[in-house]
Amino acid sequence: MRVEFKVGMRNYTYPIYFLAALAYGVVLGAFPEEYVSTMAPLFIFIDPGLLGFMFIGTSIFSDKKDGTIGALSVTPMEWRDYYLSKTIIMALLALIGALVIVVVGAGFNVQIAYVLIGTLLVSVVYTLLGIAIAAKYRDLDDYFVPLLAVMVLSFLPFAAYHGLISGPWGKVLYIIPSYPGLYFFHAGFEEIARETLMWSGIALVIWGIVAYNLAKIRFYKYAVEGLR
C-alpha cells in the first residue's frame, strides 16, 4: 500500500485528486447559502465516487502497461491484497477530499460524521466497481464508454431525489448505489431520519459485497488470466 501511495504521488494522480477537491470546495463556497445543501452532496459524490472510479481505472491500466500485474502474478501474493490496497487508498483519499470540500465550501457547521460515513461506503463501492470494469480493458479510451454509462446512471438518483423523476421509475433508481449515498451526504446539511440512514447503509454494504465479488472474479479473469 505504501508503494501504491508513492506511485500515485509520483505520477500526480493523488495531487490532482486533492486539487479537484479543493476546486469543488471553492466553487461550492461561491454558491448562495440556501443552495449549499443542494449542491454539496453532488460535489461530494463526484469527488469520491466518479473521480475515484476514473482514477482507479487509470491505475489498473498503468499497472498493466508497466508489467506490474504480470510480475505480481509469479509471486505468492494474494490478489485480494492488490485490489483491497487500492480500495483502501482511494477510500482514504475520498475521506480527505470530502473533508476539504465540506470545510472549504460550507465551513464547520455541518454534520460531518454522516458525510464521511457516506463517503467511505460510496468510495469503496465505486472503487471496487471500477476495478471490476477496468480489468477487462487496456486503456482509458476503451474504458470511456463504461465510464460514461456509470456517470449517467449515477446521476439519475439526483434527479429522483429532487423530484425530477417520480413514480415507479424513481423507486427503481434506489438500486443505484449513488442513491443511498445521497441520504448520507444530505444528512450533513439537513435532517434525515435515522431509519432512512440505516437502510441506506445496509444498501451500500450489500453493494460493497457485490462489487467486491465482481472485482475478485473479473480482475482474475481479465487482468491476471488474460496476461497468460
Measured CA distances, 226 to 52, 212, 220 (Å): 24, 19, 8
pLDDT recorded at residue 219: 87
pLDDT recorded at residue 187: 95
Percent of the chain clearing pLDDT 90 (strictly above): 46
Q: What are phi and psi of 127, to 5 degrees?
A: -65, -45
As a whole number of Å, the CA-based R_g of the chain is 18
pLDDT for 146-190, tens place per residue?
A: 989 998 999 999 888 887 887 777 788 899 999 999 999 999 999
Q: What are phi and psi of 172, to 5 degrees?
A: -60, -35
* Number of separate domains in the chain: 1
pLDDT recorded at residue 10: 63
Percent of the chain clearing pLDDT 70 (strictly above): 91
**Euclidean distance between the first and the last CA atom of the chain, given in angstroms as a whole number:** 25
User: Residue with C-alpha cell 491476471?
Assistant: 224
Q: Which domain holds residue 135?
A: 2-227
pLDDT average, residue stretch 92-111: 92
What is the Cα–Cα distance from 42 to 18, expressed in whole angstroms?
Answer: 17
DSSP secondary structure of the chain: -HHHHHHHHHTTHHHHHHHHHHHHHHHHHHS-HHHHHHHHHHHHHIIIIIIHHHHHHHHHHHHHHTTHHHHHTTSS--HHHHHHHHHHHHHHHHHHHHHHHHHHHH-S-S-HHHHHHHHHHHHHHHHHHHHHHHTT-SSHHHHHHHHHHHHHHHHHHHHHHTTSS-THHHHHGGGSTHHHHHHHHHHTTS---HHHHHHHHHHHHHHHHHHHHHHHHHIIIIIIGGG-
